[in-house]
């Protein structure tokens, strides 16, 4: 059943992005930035973790989950280590996406030939 919920949730997130793209002059860069901020906001309210429990991977795949990860890392860091802990732990949860993308795209871009 979580597969069906994943389908619905991930699809609806993409629909929101597509509606913003079609009806305004914003670029894909704007849309992803807006969705990251929305994800961090939903994390602040505490909604996004419940959505992930309910929906599963369908909620961890959209870019909103990146904002939620950043917020969770910062908040947990603040709880455990005070104000300086916020800066220490901001990227702990979000580093998976950034590091993987950096390392593999660097390797693949070295391998490929330059296009015309």
Binding site for another protein (CB under 8 A): 2-4, 6-19, 21-23, 28-29, 31-33, 35-37, 40-41, 43-44, 52, 55-58, 60-63, 66-67, 70-71, 73-75, 78, 86, 90-91, 94, 96-98, 100-102, 104-106, 108-109, 111-112, 114-115
CA 78-96-108 angle, to 5 degrees, is: 150
Residue 4 or 84: the one with the smaller Cβ distance to another protein is 4
User: How far is the C-alpha of 31 from the C-alpha of 79, rounded, in Å?
Assistant: 31
Q: How far is the CB of 66 from another protein (least distance, A)?
A: 6
User: How far is the C-alpha of 37 from the C-alpha of 107, rounded, in Å?
Assistant: 30
Q: How far is the CB of 90 from another protein (least distance, A)?
A: 6
Cβ proximity of 115 and 107 under 8 Å = no
């Amino acid at each position: 059943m979580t597969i069906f919920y994943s389908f619905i949730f991930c699809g609806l997130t993409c629909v929101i992005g597509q509606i913003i793209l079609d009806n305004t002059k914003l670029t894909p860069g704007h849309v992803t930035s807006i969705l990251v901020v929305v994800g961090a906001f939903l994390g602040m309210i505490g909604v996004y973790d419940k959505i992930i429990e309910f929906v599963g991977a369908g909620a961890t795949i959209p870019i909103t989950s990146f904002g939620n990860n950043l917020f969770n890392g910062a908040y947990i860091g603040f709880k455990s280590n005070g104000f300086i802990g916020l800066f220490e732990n901001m990227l702990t949860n979000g580093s998976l996406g950034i590091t993987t993308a950096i390392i593999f795209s660097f390797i693949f871009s070295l391998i490929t030939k330059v296009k015309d």
